[in-house]
Structure 1
């Protein structure tokens, strides 16, 4: 009962927290005129700076205060799936927005599909509870730095997320900052984004089904497999990460096509971060004694991200030597 009440409370909280930014932007759109106050002129002339300011106050500061009160950073995990959609609509509706209608519509639709997929996976993994637990990496850091985590979390959890989220969404800004006509490269970008979303969905679904089956077998006292090595996971140790990267780099192709190639920086930073996360995940897997031997064998025969055919352990060792 207490868990259910906590979930309801967190659900209400999740719906309330973005409203300061939403209301500010609604007022801005309603009252916007080129000759209005200096702050309105600044908001209209600096869309990226404005989204960073709203992120800082409404996410970094507000989410951080809430995390201190709840002793849990769960909100940022949920909003990782929501904020890109909000930014897509922000950039598309900004007074200075200029865009190709089809490119804008397709990117917004794809962003919604990506968000629905990731949000569904989040709640499915959390057993449809709101804020039941926080990311294991942040939980580990909380234990590692018990006396300083209250202030460290502001930078490690929230400021860092601003860099990643605003950065990876820069191509969405580029799409809404150019009227460049639709070309064959846009079709390619659409294909890459779609494949990334579909690939990540099937990878996450296969992982979810494996975990659920494992739980059931343990309850029955039956033997279980230590690692998932079937389906997409037979060709990549992290196919869900691969699909996610395809999605973000697909957006970069849109931006490149409209002459805003510099926006690749956000996707590049995100890829570097995910590479480090991959290292942390694999260290955790190897550290679990019941699967250490099997996972090391899995590492020797299976590609890290990019799906590829299985290698025999000896062949992979020879390749490393050369």
Structure 2
């Protein structure tokens, strides 16, 4: 089996190789949010490379199948959602803060940074290599990951349907899974990566507990960096109805709303 450190280094190079042409395309388009469209590829392509290089056993096949399904769904969803809308306002804010010279600065502030973060998220597949027979821990991890993927898929589908409705207007989406969590898609995503990490530990044991950096990082990103905190930073001012939604609805973990109303 090739050394893990060498394989990990090649995985990082693959992520960087995806980042560079995406950055080059973003400069003339003035759209750094292209990074969002390839975020899932940053993770999935190195993960599949690990499985190919190290020899895919049933555990790695299931892990890469789950990650591949996640990556394909998310990449298509984000691309379709953002198509024709220009640069996302979060990236416009970064652009405004980073002038002059954002076109060059975005290479490391956005694209290379995300490539490195995504590479860390891909590490459980590397950790699981050579782990022997399938165990009950694999079943648990795969179940958590598949459940998380189902939750985020359903949540995104519900939100997309709501946004297409002519009557949505300035209303807040508080139906379906969004009745119980303000960010059920992020909750599902977090569950997916914790499930993948459980499988990584099942294959690699506690000697490879470094793979837990993957779900810890993803949880921090979704809760404190690019997810819940950033999205809700000023939304109460822009959409007053959202303040009431915040008051009655769990931010992350699905939970019955504080003030139940008939639906």
TM-score category of the 2 structures, normalised to the smaller one: 0.7 to 0.9
Q: CA RMSD in A?
A: 2.4
Question: Which of 226, 235, 240 is 2:180 aligned to?
Answer: 235
Q: TM-score, normalised by structure 2?
A: 0.87
Q: 1:48-105: per-residue Cα shift (whole Å, max 9, x none)?
A: 112223333x2344333332233222432221122333223211121xx155x21122
Aligned to 1:14: none
Offset of 1:132 from its aligned partner? 5.1
- In the alignment, the residues of structure 1 paired with residue 182 and residue 33 of structure 2 have an alpha-carbon distance, to the nearest angstrom, of 26
Q: Please give the secondary structure, in 1, of the residue aligned with 2:40.
A: coil
SS in 2 for 1:283: coil
Give the direction of change, closer, same or farther, for the CA distance of 1:68–1:181 in structure 2 (3 Å limit). Answer: same
SS in 2 for 1:46: helix
TM-score, structure 1 as length reference? 0.72
Unpaired runs of 5+ residues, structure 1, are: 1-33, 35-40, 219-223, 314-322
- The superposition leaves residues 281-319 of structure 1 with CA deviations (integer Å, 9 ceiling, x where unpaired) of 11232121xx21x21121111111100111249xxxxxx
Contact 1:167–1:267 at 8 Å: present in 2 too? no
Larger radius of gyration: 1
The residue number in structure 1 matching 2:24 is 65
Quick one: distance in 2 between partners of 1:61 and 1:312? Answer: 48
Cα distance in 2 for partners of 1:123, 1:152 equals 23
CA distance, structure 1, for counterparts of residue 155 and residue 32 of structure 2: 26
* Number of the residue aligned with 1:84: 43
Shift of 1:237: 0.6
Q: Does 2:41 align with 1:109?
A: no
Structure 2: gaps (5+ residues)? none
The 1:113/1:62 distance shift into structure 2, 3 A limit, reads closer
Q: Distance in 2 between matches of 1:103 and 1:266?
A: 17
Secondary structure at 1:80's aligned position in 2?
helix
Segment drifting more, 108-117 vs 67-76: 67-76
Select which of 244, 250, 255 maps to 1:297: 244
- Higher RCO (C-alpha 8 Å, min separation 6): 2
